[in-house]
Amino acid sequence: MTEGGREVERRLSRQDLLKLAAAAGGAGMLAGAAPAGAALEWLTAESGRLQVLDWVGYGYDGGQSMFAAYNKRYPKNKAQITVMTNEANALSKFHAGLNFDLFRPYIGWVKFFAQSGLVQPWDPKLIPNLKHLNPYMVKAGQYQGKQYGIPNDWGFDQILYRTDKVKPKANSYSLLFDERYKGKIAWFDDIEMPEIAGLLHGYKDTWNQTDAQLKQTQDFLTQKKNLVRLIWSSETNMQEAFAAGDIWISYAWPADYAAMKAKKLPVVYMRPKEKPIAWVGMFMLLKDTPRPHLAHAYVDAWSSAKSGKWLEDNYFYGHANRLAHPSSSALSKALDLSNPKAVVPPFANLDRDIPRRAEYEKLWEEVKAS
């Protein structure tokens, strides 16, 4: 060990040594100086607070339990959370020169970001909880054999409706376009709406529609837009409108169903016959992060069964950790948790990369503007 190294070691407190022991896997620390040296190297090299770009509710605004273990283990490098409203917002932040260590886009963006050069693959060996994560979701986070995305929260895009007000003709996404409920329907402000329209039209690949299909989709959505009262981008706004009775039918996530049930509203979270679109949140590691090891530790904390159960019990989303089981049997059923393949065909349509994303986006913006 160099003189400098010994000097650093002398300055380590007992707390730091414990942290080192944990980082080096404990045994390594006891077995010899080399692993400890490696751990020491990254621990002393990675300084400052871990910069995380994540969605509302996943920071200190309620979601802190899911990374409490990380903060406890690295009190000098606690996570600092910046809120992103969507992937485009994250892109805008990167473009504006803001620096983060990791962020959470959703599954449809994994390929895009992997190709963008903005991110780097994770080292699976540094995430011990990875082995407990749903293998289908883990695979969905890979690009060219490398693990670019670590799956975490997941759920379905289904339809929430009031049973006392709405009588669907079929369990189908068509309820979002039902003329009988004009002025009581809410859509989601996202290009998932063209995807849903494509599923309804029976397109072979709704994520890669042809020009003719896109034109048909745009005409369909533009024509049906007059039925819609709210196009929501904030879940809170939608829940508020639903609870107030301003809307009866909405594109929704499992958490919305749970929230309306908690308000004692008579609601159903309908699984459409077209098979629901499933989404998975994917942690991605930014290319120029100065804190890669801390980022791995943070993601590992999020990936634990304890965090997973907390997420399921409190936010009513699914969690990729197969050892996490929610207290609510209704949620288990809604998420089909007994089925590890619940998010992939033939059970659901796992969201995916959209090669013509710009065209989809233009279409959707024009529908909203129409």
Partner 1 sequence: MAVEARTEQLAEPRPRRRRYRPSMSVPGLLGLPVAWLAVFFLVPIGIVAGYSVNLLSFGSVFGPASHGFTLQAWHDFLHSGVYLRLFWKSVKMSLLVSIAIVVLAYPLAYYLALSGTKRKYVLLLLLIAPFLTSYLLRVLAWKVILGDNGVLNSFFFWTGLRSPEHPFSQLLYSRFAVMLVLGYIWLPFVALPIFVSLESLDRGLLEAASDLGASRLTAFRKVTLPLSLPGVVAAFLFVFIPTIGEFVTPSLVGGANGYMYGNQIVDLFETGFPDWQTGSVLAIFLLGVVVLLTLVFSRFLQPRQVTAG
Query: Footprint of partner 1 on this chain (CB under 8 A)?
Result: 85-86, 88-89, 91-92, 94-95, 116, 118, 183-184, 187, 189-191, 225, 228-231, 233, 237, 240-241, 244-246, 357-358, 360-362, 364-366, 368-370
Minimum distance from CB of 195 to partner 1 (Å)? 12
Residue closer to partner 1, measured from CB, 131 or 215: 215
Longest dimension (CA), the chain: 79
Q: What H or E segment, with its residue span, contains residue 219? A: helix 211-224
Burial of 339 (0-12, 13-18, 19+ CB in 10 A): exposed
C-beta atoms surrounding 137 within 10 Å: 27
Residue closer to partner 1, measured from CB, 39 or 185: 185
Residue closer to partner 1, measured from CB, 85 or 329: 85
Residue closer to partner 1, measured from CB, 178 or 336: 178
Task: Give the residue from 229, 270, 254, 236 showing the smallest Cα distance to 318.
Answer: 254
Q: What H or E segment, with its residue span, contains residue 5? A: helix 3-11
Minimum distance from CB of 358 to partner 1 (Å)? 5
The span from the CA of 247 to the CA of 68, in Å, is 37
Residue closer to partner 1, measured from CB, 24 or 102: 102
Is the previous residue joined to 346 through a cis bond, with omega within 30 degrees of 0?
yes
Residue closer to partner 1, measured from CB, 127 or 247: 247
Minimum distance from CB of 179 to partner 1 (Å)? 15
Which two three-digit tokens encode residue 339? Answer: 């089925």
Contact 343, 154 (CB under 8 A): yes
Residue closer to partner 1, measured from CB, 157 or 312: 157
Minimum distance from CB of 250 to partner 1 (Å)? 12
> Radius of gyration (Cα) for the chain, nearest Å?
23
- How far apart are the two ends of the chain, measured CA to CA in Å? 69
Minimum distance from CB of 146 to partner 1 (Å)? 20
Minimum distance from CB of 74 to partner 1 (Å)? 30
Minimum distance from CB of 229 to partner 1 (Å)? 5
Residue closer to partner 1, measured from CB, 187 or 298: 187
Minimum distance from CB of 186 to partner 1 (Å)? 9
Contact 351, 279 (CB under 8 A): yes
Bridge partners of 80, per DSSP, are: 51
